[in-house]
Structure 1
Amino acid sequence: MAQIRIRKTNERIEGEAEVKAFLDSHNVVYEHWNPTKLPEALREKFILSDDEKAQIISTYEEEIRDLAARRGYEIWDVIALSDSTPDIEKLLQKFEQVHTHTEDEIRAIVSGKGIFIIKSEDEVGYFDVELEPGDVISVPENTNHFFTLMDNREIVAVRLFIEKDGWVAYNIEDPDFIKA
């Protein structure tokens, strides 16, 4: 289950209802898929073949199609990141830059853990959304944010896109952002 950490105060928000209420108040979509639907052989696997990625898509096809129908997504794929990923440090540098998109950025975590760092439009400032298997999050378009891995440095996620070219990041220099 996702947890929130408000960076200014180090306050933590836990529990599904509390997390969802906080994210709703910041226009961040939060849902939960059943992580146990994923075949056990794929639950802790972070180097995936194309066939295994297709199996993940197939496993969550109903959830993906429902979300796509409600929110206008046209395409989806699976991304897997770990220390075994070629050029992982270069990829993380790209992800760990505060940026925005012209469409929302949605991820459904199926294995591992990760963090979205999102800037609120109010006095809360930046907050971390710590994600684990089953968590589905959508960062609104034109919202300052970035993504990084947690200490375990392993994640598998389904990504959904409106644009057929996938998301394009527009880097932002934000003096309010302080790496924590």
Structure 2
Amino acid sequence: MTLLTVWPDTGPGTVLVRTSDPAEVAEELGRLGVRYEQWPVLPGVTARNALEAYAAQVERVTGTEGYVLVDAMEMTPSDDPGWVAKAGEARAKFLAEHTHDDDEDRFFARGSGVFYLHLRGRVHAVLCEAGDLLSVPANTTHWFDMGTRPDYVSIRFFHDDDGWVGNFTGSPIARSFPTFDAITAGR
């Protein structure tokens, strides 16, 4: 179940909004220009079959948003030391506050991750789970946490072949807010 938590950007001591109601999540994020929608959750989706399984939804999004590249990626937990290192590197890559020159649209076909949007003096933590599509507009200050044991299949949409290149702000703000693991443990 999706969860939106909003705090002042001065710290997580005061919860301004906390909701798991999809309509409230969509409305709150819509005020920020962020698109949130839910698609059906289909069983057995992997990175190999996600684009086929969600072909109609992918076609609609690429047609309305003008995306030229769509892919699917998968992170499945393993105790293999190589996977542990890969997962740690993947998590660290976008755990610091940054922006992208392109929109960041991501659909979770399986599993979950948290997008933290830093807008208008607030931090909006959006726990996205299977069935959730989140569209973060270009140049939105944010970070992403997939947790210490990432487990998800996601479909990603791009306007060009370069994908998402992070423009890091250098701000330490991300270290001040609850991590994916803390948010999912405290539901």
TM-score over 0.5 for the alignment? yes
Alignment counterpart, residue 37 of structure 2, candidates 31, 44, 54: 31
What's the counterpart of residue 109 of structure 1? 108
The answer as to whether partners of 2:98 and 2:166 remain within 8 angstroms in 1 is yes
* Deviation by residue 1:25-59 (Cα, 9 ceiling, x = unmatched): 11111111111xx3x334xxxxxxxxx52311101
* Deviation by residue 1:107-143 (Cα, 9 ceiling, x = unmatched): 00000111001111x23x1110011110000111111
**1:98-177 matches, cutoff 5 A:** 98-120=97-119, 122-123=120-121, 125-150=122-147, 153-174=150-171, 176-177=173-174
Matched, 1:62 2:59: no
CA distance in 2 between counterparts of 1:129 and 1:24 reads 13
CA distance in 1 between counterparts of 2:108 and 2:39 reads 9
CA distance in 1 between counterparts of 2:94 and 2:102 reads 16
Corresponding letter in the other structure for 2:132: D
Structure 2, unaligned runs of 5 or more: 9-13, 179-187
Alignment CA distance shift 1:41-1:13 (3 Å): closer
CA distance in 2 between counterparts of 1:163 and 1:98 reads 22
1:153 shift after superposition: 3.0
1:14 shift after superposition: 2.2
CA distance in 2 between counterparts of 1:132 and 1:53 reads 16
What's the counterpart of residue 21 of structure 1? 27
Alignment CA distance shift 1:87-1:176 (3 Å): closer
RMSD (CA atoms): 1.8
Percent identity over the alignment is 28
The answer as to whether partners of 1:113 and 1:152 remain within 8 angstroms in 2 is no
Corresponding letter in the other structure for 2:35: V
Alignment CA distance shift 1:94-1:176 (3 Å): closer
CA distance in 2 between counterparts of 1:32 and 1:15 reads 12
CA distance in 2 between counterparts of 1:176 and 1:87 reads 24
Structure 1, unaligned runs of 5 or more: 43-51
Corresponding letter in the other structure for 1:65: E
**1:70-109 matches, cutoff 5 A:** 70-84=64-78, 85=83, 87-109=86-108
Corresponding letter in the other structure for 1:162: H
- How many residues are aligned here? 166
